[in-house]
Amino acid sequence: MSAYLATWYEEGLQVPRGITLKTISQAAADRLLRTTRLAETALEIPRRLGDGATGGQLSQDKVRCRRIIHVAKKAAPGWKDFKGKEPGDLKREAAVVDWVKWYEEQARVLRREMNIVAALHYQKQAPAVECKHVLMWINNEYRWLAYALRD
């Protein structure tokens, strides 16, 4: 039993039908491309936080956008065998994104994916080496995003 996989295994979690390491990897590639495009779009919007925002708040928002772009691009090589699906127009979402709330949702999704990867190994006998690889890249993204959004 792998201690790394066991850390993320949640007893009683049922793997949703149709979920494989390949579908999780494709979803990760799609998510990272979407994250990059969202942050790039938000970065381009001047005074995105509104007229009442202070210079410090605007500066912090730009720094967060750049950090999120960096994380998404740094995490992308983990999914080099998968091409992310180009997201549609993100201007409206980028104009109102609250990075702290966005991260809370991302963290929830990433933790759930890590639980599912571990469950794939223990319930569906997915290869441990492949599960660890996928788990490592998702965990990297999770930790890097938390660090990127520090103040």
pLDDT tens profile 92-122: 999 999 999 999 999 999 999 999 999 999 9
Q: Where do the structural domains in the chain lie, given as residue ranges? A: 17-148
Q: Classify 30 as helix, strand or coil.
A: helix
pLDDT tens profile 40-96: 999 999 888 888 889 999 999 999 999 999 999 999 998 988 988 899 999 999 999
Phi-psi region of 85 (alpha: psi -120 to 50; beta: other; left: phi over 0): beta
- The DSSP-derived string for 88-130 is ---HHHHHH--HHHHHHHHHHHHHHHHHHHHHHHHHH---HHH
pTM: 0.92
